[in-house]
């Protein structure tokens, strides 16, 4: 059998293999192109910082393709020609293709990257960074604080950031426990959040929209479930929202009582109530959020109830105890109460 041509049985398999080999060439670009647009793509920039990142990517992609074609062409040429090089000509090839050319290419790329750096990471003097937004990475959610002109905290929220369109938003990035990384692909590059440090980051959204951000540094069991939302709204709408957030609102007293009686207020704050815990996300405007538990679930009353009953089931390693032992009725009341917090 060995050494003979393909048998009847092996032929279909051979053609199957051939189409399998083609598969990555069709599938990979298809798959990667399908993720090029949308609220979570560095290739669909929504601001100047992100545009530079995308630009750098395409320049590198183009350069990479040119070099790859040249290398493959050289390889094919070398494989076909059975020429034996003299030691001198081999040395010249190594010098040019192995040292001089890479140095030139990498030097050009480095200069280009350095030239672009001020645009990608605009440096804004401290005194111009008024009204900063302080974002703290926590396992596995985001604490968001809006500061006023004097740098005092106006109010706190979580897992969602609002910025005005067309105006630079200045972030102060911190970490409470381990290293996290703040990344909104549509708006700009990543910035690490390091315990004990405050890293500044300025991002501008030049079109209105909702953008998704993620934690880009492995930070524990539920790292992959640590997302957030950036909403870029018109500056006037932003001002109205800031004012609204500072005003107090009437609350459903019965729901609040169930919330407080079950100890939720030890870790969560709801402004204007006895709930003033600081361990978990501030829930004052919880009903406004588009997602639940840092993007882990949709924001529906059922999902809130499910999360409260067993948060560890949805986010492994979560720092919230489970409340499955509470009567279902209480959990549903709490969920309905929280959903209405605006």
Task: Decide if residue 175 touches ligand HEC (CB under 6 A).
Answer: no
Q: Characterize the bridge pairing of strands 180-183 and 169-175.
A: unpaired
Q: Characterize the bridge pairing of strands 180-183 and 209-215.
A: antiparallel
- Among 216, 305, 323, 339, indicate the residue that binds ligand HEC (CB under 6 A): 323
- Among 147, 163, 187, 292, indicate the residue that binds ligand HEC (CB under 6 A): 292
Q: Is 323 helix (H, G, I), strand (E, B) or coil?
A: coil
Interface region with ligand HEC, contact rule CB under 6 A, candidates 175-183, 184-192, 237-245, 311-319: 311-319
Q: Round to whole Å and give the CA distance between 65 and 104.
A: 17
Helix (H) or strand (E) segment spanning residue 209: strand 209-215
Task: Decide if residue 53 touches ligand HEC (CB under 6 A).
Answer: no
Q: What is the per-residue binding string for ligand HEC in 217-256, x denoting contact by CB under 6 A?
A: ----------------------------------------
Q: Where are the beta strands (DSSP E) in 123-188?
A: 133-138, 141-147, 153-158, 160-164, 169-175, 180-183
3-state helix, strand, coil in the chain (%, to 5): 45, 20, 40
Q: Round to whole Å and give the CA distance between 96 and 101.
A: 6
Q: Which of residues 146-165 bind ligand HEC (CB under 6 A)?
A: 158-159
Q: 226 — phi, psi (to 5°)?
A: -120, 80
Interface region with ligand HEC, contact rule CB under 6 A, candidates 9-17, 71-79, 148-156, 291-299: 291-299
Task: Decide if residue 268 touches ligand HEC (CB under 6 A).
Answer: yes
> Considering CB distances under 5 to 8 angstroms, the limit depending on partner class, which of ligand HEC, Cu ion, none binds residue 273?
none
Residue 140 or 182 having the CB closest to ligand HEC: 140
How many residues are given for the chain?
Answer: 342
Task: Decide if residue 280 touches ligand HEC (CB under 6 A).
Answer: yes
Interface region with ligand HEC, contact rule CB under 6 A, candidates 146-154, 201-209, 210-218, 286-294: 286-294
Min dist. Cβ of residue 96 to ligand HEC (A): 55
- What torsion do the CA atoms of 293, 294, 297, 299 make, to the nearest 10 degrees? 80
Task: Decide if residue 285 touches ligand HEC (CB under 6 A).
Answer: no
| Partners of 192 in the β-ladder | 181
- Token pair belonging to 73: 């062409």
Burial tier of 314 (Cβ tally within 10 Å: 0-12, 13-18, 19+): middle
Min dist. Cβ of residue 169 to ligand HEC (A): 20
Task: Decide if residue 318 touches ligand HEC (CB under 6 A).
Answer: yes
Residue ranges in the chain assigned as alpha helix (H): 10-34, 48-80, 87-93, 101-120, 235-246, 253-261, 301-309, 311-314, 328-339
Q: Characterize the bridge pairing of strands 227-233 and 160-164.
A: parallel
Q: Which of residues 208-227 bind Cu ion (CB under 5 A)?
A: 215, 219, 226
> Considering CB distances under 5 to 8 angstroms, the limit depending on partner class, which of ligand HEC, Cu ion, none binds residue 215?
Cu ion
Task: Decide if residue 281 touches ligand HEC (CB under 6 A).
Answer: yes
Task: Decide if residue 174 touches Cu ion (CB under 5 A).
Answer: no
> Considering CB distances under 5 to 8 angstroms, the limit depending on partner class, which of Cu ion, ligand HEC, none binds residue 268?
ligand HEC
Task: Decide if residue 294 touches ligand HEC (CB under 6 A).
Answer: yes
Residues that bind ligand HEC (CB under 6 A): 140-141, 158-159, 259, 262-264, 266-268, 279-281, 286, 289, 292-294, 304, 308, 315, 318-321, 323, 334, 338
């Amino acid at each position: 059998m060995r050494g003979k041509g393909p048998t009847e049985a092996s032929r279909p398999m051979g053609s199957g293999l051939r189409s399998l080999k083609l598969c990555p060439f069709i599938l990979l670009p298809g798959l990667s192109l399908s993720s090029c647009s949308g609220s979570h793509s560095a290739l669909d920039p929504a601001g100047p910082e992100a545009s530079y990142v995308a630009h750098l990517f395409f320049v590198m992609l183009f350069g990479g393709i040119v070099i790859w074609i040249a290398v493959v062409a050289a390889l094919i040429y070398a494989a076909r020609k059975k020429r034996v090089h003299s030691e001198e000509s081999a040395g010249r090839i190594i010098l040019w293709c192995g040292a001089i050319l890479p140095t030139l290419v990498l030097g050009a790329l480095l200069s280009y990257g350095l030239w672009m750096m001020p645009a990608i990471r605009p440096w804004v003097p401290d005194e111009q960074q008024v009204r900063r937004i302080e974002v703290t990475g926590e396992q596995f959610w985001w604490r968001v604080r809006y500061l006023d002109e004097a740098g005092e905290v106006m109010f706190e929220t979580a897992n969602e950031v609002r910025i005005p369109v067309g105006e630079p938003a200045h972030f102060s990035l911190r970490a409470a426990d381990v290293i996290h990384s703040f990344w909104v692909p549509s708006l700009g590059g990543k910035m690490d959040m390091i315990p004990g440090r405050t890293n500044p980051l300025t991002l501008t959204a030049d079109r209105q929209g909702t953008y998704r951000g993620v934690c880009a540094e492995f930070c524990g069991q539920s790292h992959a479930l640590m997302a957030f939302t950036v909403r870029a709204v018109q500056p006037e709408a932003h001002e109205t929202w800031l004012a609204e957030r500072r005003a107090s609102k009437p609350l459903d007293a019965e729901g609040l009582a169930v919330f407080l009686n079950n100890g939720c207020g030890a870790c969560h704050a709801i402004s204007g109530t006895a709930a003033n815990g600081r361990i978990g996300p501030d829930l004052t405007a919880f009903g406004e959020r588009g997602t639940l538990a840092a993007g882990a679930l949709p924001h529906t009353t059922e999902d809130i109830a499910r999360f409260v009953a067993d948060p560890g089931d949805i986010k492994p390693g979560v720092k919230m105890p489970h409340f499955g032992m509470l009567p279902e009725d209480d959990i549903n009341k709490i969920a309905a109460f929280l959903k209405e917090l605006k």
